[in-house]
Amino acid sequence: MKRSIALITLAIITFLVYCLSFYYSSVVDSVAIATGSLVYIGLSVLSILVWLIIFIYSDSKNKLPWLFVIALFPVLGLILYIMVGNGFRETYRYHRRMKQLGDDYLSPVCDFDHSQVKTVLSDEACRLVKLNKMTAINDISFRSKTRILTNGEQKFPVLLEAIKNAQQFIFLEYYIFHSDEMGMRVVNALIDRAQAGVEVRVLIDAMGSSKRMSQSTISLMRRSGIKFAEFDPVWIPILSNKINHRNHRKILVVDGKVAITGGINIGDEYIHRSVKFGFWRDTSILIEGEAVHDFSVLFAGDWFFATGERLEDERYFYFTKCEEDGGVQVVDSGPTSAIAPIKQTIFRMIMDANQSIYMITPYLIPDFDVIMALKNAALSGIDVRIIVPGRPDKKFVYYATQSYFEALLAVGVRIYTYDGVFCHAKVVIVDGKIATVGTANLDIRSFYLNFEVNVMLYETQSIQSLLNDFNIDFSRSTEIIYQDWKNRSIKDRTLQSLAQLFSAVM
């Protein structure tokens, strides 16, 4: 009997506990549901407000993709936009930091010697010179010499020799710097000069070189006397829109006498040792003379942003003069400028072309202005040719590049794919007389988001080297035929359209 009473009592207590827990859990769930609903409604309303603000006030070139994402996924889209899409805070942060340098430091304030200049520039070139001086400030130099360095096998011997010959200072700034065999050859050359008393400063992009340069290599450089810094580290990439504003520049400056820039980073893959890519097609350029000064100024600004150290010693901005060989002008751009100087330059080059436009780029994701300029040029009877990779490094980005083919092919633009090779060169030549070589791709990211630098060439001998390279590249590429391209599969069309839609936010 007692056992039965005990079992009944236990059952009643269990039932009461269950009822009580159910009651309280229902209350908690109701509060949670109500709270969650309010939060969701609040986020939805905020999404609508943000959508309207972007629609009315934003002049960003990736405006439409973000409007689409926020409209399709209101809450998720808003969160993504706040994390990585909104560049207002980052742009303000750059402006604020660089303003601390002062106008005299920010601006090169260097008008080069134009006396007794023999080079005669065309009207188109004169317009470009004036445009670049307005947007990027830098003057044209007629006392500079340039040499094209095709692929890594030409660049790295020249780079290592320049480092070896340094007597006073070395500025080295790279987006990607590996700790592999080639990377360590450069590191060891820098260490050798640092131990010989040469001032060596190395600046790498914190995202571009993340996981590529080992901490042991960084420690080795610092112990050897090299001043080392990372540009804009990102502690939690997914929660920061810093990832949208990277330093994509590749610069070496030695003693104010020599500068090197272009598409080639530092690592084994750039000398054709990559298992994934094999042969790597790329272009860099060596600059001597007056124009080296502008690279020193550019590095000094980037170094200040990364470290807070002002490089004011006059010897950093010393430059020599070379015999006249056409005109050379340095054009830099980045999120600190709403004018997009390099994009403006390329747009003007296209619009002023009279006979031919040759381009090679790893990514062809231009904005509306450049697309229309290319179409206009082709429809005007100008020979427009573009070389893009025959194999991708990023599949989705490659689909975005392909998404622009049909519209360009339809109006007569000739597009070539480098046979089985990833070409990373960034070169534009107009009429065989004006060219630009540098770090900027023909895409929205390079035009508006990344820190980039290009070299403008006017009537220089090095332009012929670029033309020779183009002729070789054309012979190694396959031209896309418009009628064949129109017959591509529905799957490819779908992927290309989807990639184009999101290309501005990738």
Residue 29: active-site member: no
Alpha-carbon torsion angle 487, 477, 383, 341, nearest 10: 100
Letter for the amino acid at 21? Answer: S
Q: Which of 145, 155, 424, 433 is catalytic?
A: 424
Tokens for 94, please give them. 């750059």
Query: Residue for token digits 């300029």?
Result: 373
Q: Which of 193, 188, 171, 178 is nearest to 253 (CA)?
A: 171
Which one of the listed residues 155, 178, 375, 426 is annotated catalytic?
426
Please pick, among 248, 257, 293, 343, the residue that the annotation labels catalytic: 248
Picking from 426, 465, 472, the residue whose alpha carbon sits closest to that of residue 283 is 426
Distance, C-alpha 213 to centroid of its chain? 19
Strands 169-174 and 251-254: antiparallel
Task: Say how far apart CA 319 and CA 251 lie, in whole Å.
Answer: 16
> Would residue 248 show up in a list of annotated catalytic residues for this protein?
yes
| CA contacts within 13 A on the Cβ side of 72 | 10
| CB burial readout 216-252, b (16+ within 10 A) else e | ebbebbeebbbebbbbbebeeeeebbbbbbbbbbbbb
Burial class of 82 by CB neighbour count within 10 A (0 to 12, 13 to 18, 19+): middle
Q: Scanning the structure block, which residue is given the tokens 């290319």?
A: 374
Euclidean distance between CA atoms 333 and 440, whole angstroms: 9
Locate 409 and state its tokens: 């092919």
Is 424 a residue of the active site? yes
Annotation marks residue 250 as catalytic? yes
> Would you call 133 a catalytic residue per the annotation?
no
**The residue type at 371:** I
Which tokens go with 379?
């429809």
Residues sharing a CB contact under 8 Å with residue 436, sequence separation 6 or more, in sequence order:
331, 342, 345, 346, 349, 427, 428, 454, 455, 456, 457
Residues facing 253 on adjacent strands: 171, 259
Take residue 353 and report the two structure tokens written for it. Answer: 């072309």
Q: Which two tokens stand for residue 446?
A: 């390079």
Could you tell me if 89 and 243 are in contact, meaning their C-beta atoms sit under 8 angstroms apart?
no
Q: E strands, 256-400, where?
A: 258-262, 280-281, 283-289, 327-333, 356-360, 364-365, 383-388
Catalytic residue among 255, 294, 302, 352: 255
Q: Residue 136 in contact with residue 330, Cβ under 8 Å?
A: yes
As annotated, the active-site residues are: 248, 250, 255, 424, 426, 431
